[in-house]
């Protein structure tokens, strides 16, 4: 299964599953579904519910 990218609809920050977010403790290859529901956008603080999958 290929990796996907998710964009914060508030500020445009993108979470790339392949890259993860190591500085936040999220390992590369971590699927969006595996990220805790209390995740907040590192740029603007938006909740996980405010992200949409995007095509890159």
Pick the closest to residue 43 from 16, 8, 19 (CA basis): 8
Is 52 marked within a binding site? no
Is 41 marked within a binding site? yes
Is 11 marked within a binding site? yes
Phi, psi of 49 (to 5 degrees): -65, -15
Is 8 marked within a binding site? yes
Q: What is the per-residue DSSP string for 16-31?
A: ETTT-BGGGTB-TT--
Binding-site residues for Fe cation, in ranges, read: 8, 11, 41, 44
Binding-site residues, in ranges, read: 8, 11, 41, 44
């Amino acid at each position: 299964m290929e990796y996907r990218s998710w964009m914060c609809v508030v500020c445009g920050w993108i979470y790339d599953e392949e890259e993860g977010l190591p500085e936040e403790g999220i390992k590369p290859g971590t699927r969006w579904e595996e990220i805790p529901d209390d995740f907040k956008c590192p740029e603007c603080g938006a909740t996980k519910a405010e992200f949409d999958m995007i095509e890159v």
